[in-house]
Amino acid sequence: MQPRLKLIDRYLTLWIFLAMAAGVALGYFFPGISTITNTLSVGTTNIPLAAGLILMMYPPLAKVDYSLLPNALKDRKAIGISLFLNWVVGTVLMFILAVVFLRNEPDYMAGLILIGLARCIAMVIVWNDLAKGNREYAALLVALNSIFQVLTYSFFVWLFINILPARLGLTGFNVTVSVKEVTQSVLIYLGIPFAAGFSGRYFLIRSKGKEWYNRKFIPAISPITLYALLFTIVLMFSLKGDKIIELPMDVLKVALPLIIYFVVMFFVSFFVSKSLNIPYDKNASIAFTATGNNFELAIAVSISLFGLHSPQAFVGVIGPLVEVPVLILLVKMSLWLKKSYL
């Protein structure tokens, strides 16, 4: 039986639009919301929001089966291709698109770069299943990307935001980040849920069994990511009431390079793997792992570095809004390409 996208995931774009509208309405009818938000902060950190961002990252990391990592050595060609597509092609392509489309809007450009550096670990399994990919292989790639993100995200942010724009002579790009602050953000918003997901998985499977963990625990915690994401969006847009007139055009500015990115990454990944005679099921896993992005991490880092109602955080929110409908179409394309796969 062909798997179908769950109702909650199928209408993710709608939920995000509704959360935006709810946030704007909240800010309009309750203008004191920003004062309340500030009272719940310690320094530059809003405590409820920080808890929400960590919860947003926990379910996808709890799903990762890190015991599959030793299997990576058994298929070095495919794993090498996947890592190259994710950490070289994907990051460079998003950087190029950010420069081409948003070079005159450095804050949005930085937000798009942060998305490109955050490789997908959440929705890959969903897209992979819908496209009839190899689930164990997709899980293995997700595990690899999780480790790579913890170890390298701070370096990539430093390279693609602090160094490359200046080397390319982008004088209008005046955004810089502190590597120390990026590292702190990664340790908090990726490191904490990573440790919780890794240790929780180990101890719960040991005490309750793998069947219970996968069939009971994971389905129970999975919606937390969406709830935390929608909470973040409502809070962000409650503080953006004065700029709401500008937002529709800004959504289009960010959406266009994202759409191009998803389409180009999918076809490049798919046909490169096909040319190397990688079987369809593994090819689908590689393609969708390379095509998707970890918007939860990009949003968390943007908010931590630039603030809750920053343009960079706004760009992060547009990501899943665009990703879901485009990836659904790419799943259909993958299944169509499967028919002629030799």
SS3 assignment for 151-203: HHHHHHHHHHHHHHHHHCCCCCCCCCCCHHHHHHHHHHHHHHHHHHHHHHHHH
Q: What are φ and ψ of residue 119, in 5° steps?
A: -80, 150
Which amino acid is it at 36?
I
The pLDDT assigned to 134 comes to 86
At residue 318, the pLDDT reads: 87
Q: What pLDDT sits at residue 34? A: 67
For residue range 224-278, list pLDDT tens digits in order. 888 888 888 887 777 665 555 566 788 889 999 999 999 999 999 999 999 988 9
pTM listed for this prediction? 0.83
Which residue positions in the chain have pLDDT lower than 50?
Answer: none
* C-alpha distances out from residue 308 to 106, 239, 283, 314, 316, Å: 17, 9, 38, 9, 11
What's the pLDDT score for residue 33?
73
C-beta of residue 175 within 8 angstroms of C-beta of residue 110: yes
> What pLDDT shows up at residue 101?
95
Q: Partners of 119 in the beta sheet?
A: 293
**Residue the block writes with tokens 């547009």:** 318
Q: DSSP secondary-structure letter at 276?
A: T
As beta bridge partners, residue 293 has: 119
Q: Residue 32, Cβ neighbours under 10 Å: how many? A: 8
The pLDDT assigned to 326 comes to 92
H-helix or E-strand spanning residue 124: helix 124-130
How many helices (H) and strands (E) would you count in the chain? 19, 2
| DSSP per residue, 302-328 | HHHHH-TT-HHHHHHHHHHHHHHHHHH
Nearest to 133 by CA among 281, 272, 308, 236: 281
Could you state, in order of their start, the residue ranges of all structural domains in the chain? 11-337
What is the dotted CATH code of the domain comprising 11-337?
1.20.1530.20
CA distance 154 to 186: 7
Quick count: other Cβ atoms within 10 Å of Cβ 92? 13
Continuous segment of H or E residues that includes residue 45: strand 45-46
Q: Are 301 and 62 in contact (CB under 8 A)?
A: no
pLDDT of residue 243: 54
Q: What's the maximum distance between 2 C-alpha atoms anywhere in the chain?
A: 62
Which pLDDT does position 6 carry in this prediction? Answer: 66
